[in-house]
Every structure is written in C-alpha cells, then in structure tokens.
Amino acid sequence: MHRPACHPGAKIQAVKAYVANAETELILRGKQFIDCTGDALPAHLAGCEWRWGSESTAETGEIHAPADASTDTMGNSIHIRCIDTGRPAPYRAPDWAMKYEDSAFFYEQGRRPNDPEGGFWWIEIGVPWNTVYDNETIRHELTRHALGVWDWMKNRDEKMMERCKNYALEFIGQVPGKRESRRVIGRHFLDENELQRREVFADEAAYGGWFIDLHTPGGLLAPTSEPASASGYNDQLKEIALKYIGPYGIPLRSLISKDVDNLMMAGRNISTTHAALGTVRVMATCGLMGQAVGAAAALAVSRGLSPSEIAESEMEHVQQQLLRDGCFLPNVHNRDPADLARKATASASSTWAFSGLGAWEAAEDTGLRPEWLKCGREIPVSKHLCQWLYLSGPALERIGLWLHNSADETASLEMCLRPVDSLWDYEIEIREPIWRGKVEVPGGQDGLQWIPVGAGDLGEGCYRVEIRGDNPEADNVAWRLSGNLAYGWVGGHVVGSGRFHWNRTPTPFAMQFDPPQSVYDPSQVLGGATRPTGKTNLWFSDPGRTLPQSLDLTWESDVELKRVEITFPGQIFVEVHAESPFYVAPHIARKYRIQSREGEGWRDVLVESDNLEQRRQHELPESIRTRQLRILIEETHGARRAGLAEVRCY
C-alpha cells in the first residue's frame, strides 16, 4: 500500500477529508494543513472528520495530554503462548531473532516476564512505523522481538530460567493487535476530563473502568513500556495515582459518526481524545461498546430511524434492552415496564445477616488462583486506610477491626464512619462523618479490637470506615486483610492524587459488626442492578442453613408468566487471568427449580440440573397464572449459601 506524505513527522491532529479526483485534502480546524495523495483514507472514511495521534494539553486541558500535539500512537502487539511439556525443553532462537542481554530492560522498565505461559502485553512496537500502513513490517519486527523475549526467559533470565525449564513455545501470534490508529469524530467527542469526574450522560450505553493506560510510543524500542508498569504501579506517586479512575459511562453519541448518518464505531476508533482512549480501548470495554452499537443499530432498523435519532429520542429503550441482555450501566437501573417482577415483593427462606470477615478466614472460592487470596496479609495504617461497606440496620453499636501493632507502645489512631454515595466515592472530605473517635491499639496486639460507635440507626446505605495514618504512632500499626471475599466490601487507601482508591488486593480488610447487618435482603433482587453500586443488589441465604434455600416473588393478584430470567452472582473481584481453567463462580446455582404456588403446595414449572451460566433466560414450557413464584436453589458450584442478583418475569 502507498504510504501517504503525512506519515509520522507531520504534526497532524484533527482532519476532515474530502475525496476529489485523486487527491485528499486534509483540513485542520478550517485551515489547509497538509496535502496527502493516493489512498490516505480508506473509502468508508471518506467524508469523515477523524483524528490521529495525540492532542495537546492546550487544546483539551487533559492531565495526560502531552504538551505538544503529535502523530505518535501506541503500538501493536502479538502474543506468545507456551506449554509445560513435563520435561526439559531446550530452546535455541533463530539467528534473526532479537538478542536481549540486559535484565534492567525487563525488570526496571516495566516489562516483567512473570508468567512462563506467556501473554505479555509489552511485546509492542509502533513508532517509528505507522500502525496502519506499516502493519506487515511491524508484524515481522514483533516476531523477531517475541522470539527474543522467549530466548531471554529460557536461557538468560535468572528469575525465569528455572520456571521456564519444562516449557516449550507452542504458538506465536501473527496478526498484530492494534491499540490505536484513526479515531472517527462522532456526535460527542469524549475526553479524559469527563471520565475523571465520572460525567453522567443521558445516552450512557457502555461503561469502562480501566486506568488511563497510555503506553510509551515505540513500545520495546522506547526507554519504558508504560509509566505505571515501569514504576511498579506505585500509586503513591501523583503521576501514577492520577491515572486511576472509577467506573464511568460512555455515551452512544461517541459511537456515532457526526458526518456519515449510518456509520457507527465500536472499539478503538470511537470519538475520543488520545488520553481518554487510554482507558476506553481495553478489550472488555470495546466488547461492551460493540453490544451497545448492535442494540442501537437493531432498533434503528426496526424503527426506520438514524443512529443519531436513536441517541436523541429512543435511548431509554436501548438502555433497558442492554440491561435485560446482561450489560451493566453504572447510572442506569432496570425500569422495564414489561418486567412483572418489579410489581412483586420478595421474601426468602433465610437471609445472611452479615457480621463481617475474619483475618484468617479462607476464601470460599477455590476456583481462583490461591496467590490472589492469601491469608494474613496486612497494609500499614500510615497509608490512611478505609473500607467501603453497606449498612442497613439494626442500629450499629460497635465495629471490630483486626489491627496489628508491632511496637511495644500503645498507638492512638483517629477513626471515623462517613456516609458516601457508592463504592466509587473516592473523595476524602465529601461528607461529614456521622461518628468520630480514637482507637487505642495496645503494644504487641495482633487481633480483633472492638470500638463502640453508638451511631444509632443509620439507615440503609453505603458508608466508609476510615483510619487516619498521618501521625507517628500509626507507623507501627497495620490493618490485616481477610483471606475471604464479600460482595460490596472493598478495602482502600489514600493514593498520590489525594483521594482514596481500592487496594490492588481483592480481599477486604478484616472487620466485624455488632449487631449483624441485613445487607443481603431478598428485596435486593428487585433493585434494578445486578452488582454492588450504592447497595449490594444481591440476596444471599444464611450460610448456617443447609441447601436447598429459596426466594419467592409474591403479587397482590394473579399474573400470567411465560418467561423467567435469572441472574446469579458472578465473579467480580479479580481479573480473568486469576481464574482457573473451566472456572465457574461458586454462587452460580448448579441445580435449581422454578416453582409456582398451587393451593397449599408448590408445582415444578422448570427444573435445571446442570447449570454453568451466570444468566439464564427460561421460556417456560407453558404459560402459568400464579400469585407466587419460587426460585429453589438446591446446589451451587461450591458456595455454602444460595444467591441471586436479579429475577425478571414476563
């Protein structure tokens, strides 16, 4: 393919293309900027305004925009996959492979090869090549470097040689994955500032939550791979902490071209700045945007409307369809008028009255890799610690914290209990605490310490327990983490940006409550969300009661049902690579029944004996008229308690 004259070096930012004869004239903000000839743009982008490279800080005001605009982009990657052969598997790289000799290149510059099975995101190259026009060259270069990386791990890396001894190279990708190329300008141009403040968009159609992950242009050819990785993800550094942002919504208008009525984008070509692309570009978020575009396009075709008209006048329909199909939208809840479950009341055979988690309590989820769920870990109080949690009554009398004081002297710590909006409320002083007090931690203590709070009936909501760490006495005190997991309970600390953020460990701090709180009430399955937000949005049965356990929906009068849709609690604690092969979340029901009330008894409407899925949409064998429906959970995939996130009825 002919490479246009605007190959890297030209400071081109925002362009509008007009294809006329054999020339493409590129316009920057109404002024002629540079001429390109030939195939500078593919035909389907003709007439679209688009961007390439980085906007400047002066243009966008973004924290992570560079001082000067450039055409530099993040690079392409290929992956290697290796398998354990069960015996020594020598490897000799071909002569044309890259030769690596310096451990600092890997361990000090953010390219840590910590897994003998491969899958390294940092095998990446872009600049000085163009990720569109030089894709074939980049593929060859990436192959040279990938084989060189494996050669380093097998034959010279003192930290990996023994671990890789029995591993053999099984697969090497040959289709470079793109992080960045052209971005088409849409009806809304999404920038980092909106994501940092978690702007609520009326046309929210997807969400993201990854950090501002901007790789250094050049990848393996650059001094470092990606700043956060090169720092060891040190969130006490302000420049690293500012990259971490909470879950945010993505507007449908950013997925619709402003110049071509029937052109929609889903992925790394959406209407966004380079800085914002650093978070929206990751695969799971791209998948969500793809589903949003599909739902909107289907509705546009059925209604005879353009995508823009859908975003303006039919957005609630799109959002409700996405929720019903299993998507999560941070700022949108189920309001489907056809869902008959919304008119019912929920009750259960038992409910988990939650009293907290212990420090040495082992995780129930044995399908997660054990290194993620170690018991006995602790975090120094000097990091200014917190825990997000839910309270729902009865009135809270005392809180127990598992604190470890390694000094001989008693340490006096300041503590408070503060109401917050949700698990994603990171601000330090956003609301006044409802209780403040001092905690005296005896020298040498390593155990549960009860603190009377006398906070009274606080009402149902999200709160944050905070321990200040800005006094010398806190230097020797740590708060132990639990070895177990609980939905809606998250530990955090103050990062370099001056805000709270979640700990990188998935387990929360070890903490107890008196009296226990009814935060997993059956009414939560009708709350309109399927994962914790401002509430837990989950029902769990009492773990002290054996299965089967059940949840009932009751209506004031008979309803006719033909379809029942069920969502079980899934795995939302760690990234997918922490899951073992063939993983199924433990709270997903393996065996369950849908039953209808008939007289004094219950009749089976549907029986499921080997379920593996988190979401099930059951078309009943026949329509039923009933005033009461039961989901009877007989067996889970390992959990001691039954659980449900949502039940819908149609």
Mean pLDDT value across residues 19-46: 36
Q: Residue 83 — very low, low, confident or very high, per pLDDT cuts 50/70/90?
A: very high
Are the C-beta atoms of 99 and 154 separated by less than 8 Å?
no
Mean pLDDT value across residues 387-407: 93
Listed by start position, the domains of the chain span: 1-47, 76-178, 340-350+531-649, 354-517
The answer to whether domain 340-350+531-649 and domain 354-517 are alike in fold is yes
CB neighbourhood size of 230 (10 A): 18
Strand order in the sheet with 461-467: 435-441, 411-420, 461-467, 385-391, 490-494, 500-502
**Percent share of the chain, pLDDT over 90:** 85
Query: Is the dihedral angle over the CA atoms 517, 519, 520, 526 positive or is it negative?
Result: positive
Are the C-beta atoms of 141 and 42 separated by less than 8 Å?
no
Q: Which token pair is 290?
A: 């793809």
Q: Which segments within 421-545 are labelled E, that is strand?
A: 435-441, 446-456, 461-467, 477-480, 490-494, 500-502, 511-517, 539-540
pLDDT at 220 over 80: yes
Could you give the 3-state DSSP secondary structure of residue 132?
A: coil
CATH no., domain 340-350+531-649: 2.60.120.260
Q: Residue 429 — very low, low, confident or very high, per pLDDT cuts 50/70/90?
A: confident
Q: Which token pair is 526?
A: 């009708």
Tens of pLDDT, residues 453-510: 877 777 889 999 999 988 888 899 999 999 999 999 999 999 999 999 999 899 999 9
Mean pLDDT value across residues 392-416: 93
Q: Residue 40 — very low, low, confident or very high, per pLDDT cuts 50/70/90?
A: low
* String of DSSP letters for 15-63: EEEEEETTEEEEEETTEEEEEEESSSS-GGGTT-EEE-SB--HHHH--T
pLDDT at 42: 64
Mean pLDDT value across residues 17-38: 27
What does the alpha-carbon distance between residue 133 and residue 531 come to, in Å, rounded to a whole number? 43
Query: Looking at 310-314, 335-339, 468-472, 529-533, which range is the least confident one?
Result: 468-472
pLDDT at 27 over 80: no
Are the C-beta atoms of 230 and 224 separated by less than 8 Å?
yes
Q: Which token pair is 501?
A: 């953020």
Mean pLDDT value across residues 136-148: 97
CA distance to 140, 148, 216, per residue, from 92 (Å) = 19, 10, 30
**This prediction's pTM:** 0.90
What does the alpha-carbon distance between residue 508 and residue 512 come to, in Å, rounded to a whole number? 12
Query: Looking at 14-23, 48-57, 120-129, which range is the least confident one?
Result: 14-23
Average confidence score pLDDT of the chain: 90
> Is domain 354-517 given the CATH code 2.60.120 in the classification?
yes
Tens of pLDDT, residues 237-294: 999 999 999 899 999 999 999 999 899 999 999 999 999 999 999 999 999 999 999 9
pLDDT at 370: 87
The closest of 69, 225, 76, 219 to 139, measured between CA atoms, is: 76
CA distance to 187, 295, 619, 643, per residue, from 306 (Å) = 13, 13, 32, 41
Phi/psi at 124 (nearest 5 deg)? -145, 135
Are the C-beta atoms of 227 and 247 separated by less than 8 Å?
no
Query: Is the dihedral angle over the CA atoms 272, 278, 280, 283 positive or is it negative?
Result: positive
What does the alpha-carbon distance between residue 255 and residue 271 come to, in Å, rounded to a whole number? 6
Tens of pLDDT, residues 511-563: 999 999 999 999 999 999 999 998 999 999 999 999 999 999 999 999 999 99
pLDDT at 265: 95
Mean pLDDT value across residues 618-631: 96
Q: Which segments within 126-281 are labelled E, that is strand?
A: 167-172, 177-178, 183-184, 204-208, 248-251
What does the alpha-carbon distance between residue 640 and residue 465 come to, in Å, rounded to a whole number? 28
CA distance to 46, 53, 261, 359, 624, per residue, from 72 (Å) = 22, 5, 29, 48, 61
pLDDT at 20: 26
Tens of pLDDT, residues 590-603: 999 999 999 899 99
Residue 92 buriedness (CB in 10 A; 0-12 / 13-18 / 19+)? exposed
